[in-house]
Amino acid sequence: MTERTADAKLHAAEPHIPERYRHAVIPHIMVDDAAAAIDFYQRAFGAREDFRLDAPGGGILHAEISIGPSVLMLGDASVEAAEQASFASPTALGGGTSVTLHVYVADVDALAQRAQAAGAEILQPPTDMFHGDRTVILKDPSGHMWVFLTHLEDLSDEQLRTRLATAGL
């Protein structure tokens, strides 16, 4: 099977992800307790742990999880790295983050309920948005921002611009 054939089969199996977003950058986030974060992502988002490399002194040096077909890398942030302004967790940055993680899922409403029950803070409940996706925005216990989406309809650029103007944004 060629890579192109494998991609075509994956695309057919994931109709809730728009074609444009089926190949994406792999985010790598840092957290203060990677083991607890992985546990949360499993309970809240249905994540699967694919790989874990424990650090020699304890903690997790590198791990990879999957949420549906999306892969996320994560690891424990070290105090030394945070002091050098690299590989810092949101907590080390004063609780903020400049990155929001977007993931398409088959049922954003079910994911939002599960995530809230697991301890996520819902910042915007599931809402049908002007861009053709049903969207929930949440913050995880580590301080990372997430946008989960279920694709509802394809829009032309003109339709998107018209809806944006109508929404008053």
- Which pLDDT tens digit goes with each residue over 31-88? 999 999 999 999 999 999 999 999 888 889 899 999 988 899 999 987 565 445 567 7
Q: Tell me the C-alpha distance between 77 and 79, whole Å.
A: 7
Residue 85 lies in a domain: yes
* Cα–Cα distances in angstroms (integers) from residue 153 to residues 17, 50, 110, 111, 114, in the given order: 11, 31, 19, 20, 24
Does any domain span residue 2? no
Number of domains in the chain: 1
Residue 33 lies in a domain: yes
In whole numbers, what is the pLDDT of the chain averaged over residues?
Answer: 85
CATH of the domain at 145: 3.10.180.10
**Any domain includes 16:** no
pTM of the entire structure? Answer: 0.80
Residue 18 included in any domain: no
Q: Give 99's contacts (C-beta < 8 A, 6+ positions apart).
A: 27, 29, 144, 145
Give the domain extent around 38.
25-167
Q: CB within 8 A of 128, min separation 6: which ones?
A: 134, 152
Closest residue by Cα to residue 16 from 137, 163, 135: 135
Residue type, 15: P
User: Is 132 inside any structural domain?
Assistant: yes
In a domain, 9, yes or no: no
User: Residue 6: inside a domain, yes or no?
Assistant: no
